Amino acid sequence: MTATIAATIAAAPSASLAILCRALKVPTVARHAEEVARLAERESWTFERYLHHLVELEVHERRRRRTERYLKESDLPADKTLATITRSRLPTKVLKTLPTLCEGGFVERGDNLLAFGLPGRGKTHLVCAIGHELIQRGHRVLFTPTYALVQRLLAAKRDLRLERELAGLDKFDAVILDDIGYVQQNRDEMEVLFTFLAERYERRSVIITSNLVFSEWDRIFKDPMTTAAAIDRIVHHSVILEMTGTSIRVEHAHSERAQGDLEPTTTTPTTTTAAPHTAGAEPATTIPTTPNTTPKTKGAAPTTTTPKNRNRDHSNKETDGAM
């Protein structure tokens, strides 16, 4: 240490500490050093405890910033988390396996996770919830519809930068491919998807949701040999989840209809005149009303009163956790 630096530290220790902290890239230590020093003096802390507390603050702040950064780059739906998932809808085996999957051991081993089931069974919500938990534990995750990834890789291949694109995807510990069963690919698209899966084999995890069982994957890869090779690489180290039960979307639609049928209708009392009976029509029930004094117009057509329908919302809204 030079005499100049020593003199600066002796003259203004707080200012010099801030400079040193910036040089070491520990901004949280610089921000809290004086505050923690006063607390340490008041509580008679040892120097070791004081230093430990400052470093702990720095670690926690770095972890928070890292989590925010990973969540932003993941493209995970913000509302599809463990807190919003309906656990009662999960099959028993899935519910028992969920805590272990959230710990992230399968990602550290480079294993894959596959969620199969018919549309509306909550596959997307489940894997997104696991993705959120993996990020909280320090893993980098990317969520993407399969068709979007295929187009991204196809564009990279066309521009002769496929290898660079695969290297960029390799930074993610887990890539979630949503709806792989919906992809009807030509040969070029099938080849880049297979290349991606083969590149990550036994090194990085792939999390896949699919409406198609393996016996139907020839619709994705077209060629039987390529289909067998892809399945072999995916299944070799994998956890398979079967999402059964009824469709969340259908249940939600039925619930909305039921609520609409139970909505009370407010009727405003009015003074009406019963419509004349038309031949062949069902006789109307006469409700006592105040006599109508309006004179009848000769030759006027009888008026038919049509009851108003309540406004019901028959739209099928997608529920959290549905694909």
Residues of the chain with pLDDT under 70: 1-13, 183-185, 248-323
pTM over 0.75: no
Q: What is the pLDDT of residues 213-265, one digit of tens each?
A: 888 888 888 888 989 999 999 999 999 999 987 776 666 665 666 666 666 55
Strands 112-116 and 141-145, by their bridges, are: unpaired
For 50-114, give the secondary structure using H, E and C.
HHHHHHHHHHHHHHHHHHHHHHHHHCCCCCCCHHHCCHHHCCHHHHHHHHHHHHCHHHHCCCEEE
Q: Which residue type does 224 have?
A: P
Which domains does the chain show, CATH number per domain? Answer: 3-69 (no CATH), 82-242 (3.40.50.300)
Q: Which residues contact 97 (CB under 8 A, 6 or more apart)?
A: 239, 241
Length of the chain: 323
Rg over alpha carbons for the chain, rounded to the nearest Å, is: 33
Helix, strand, or coil (residue 270): coil
Which pLDDT score is estimated for 222? 80
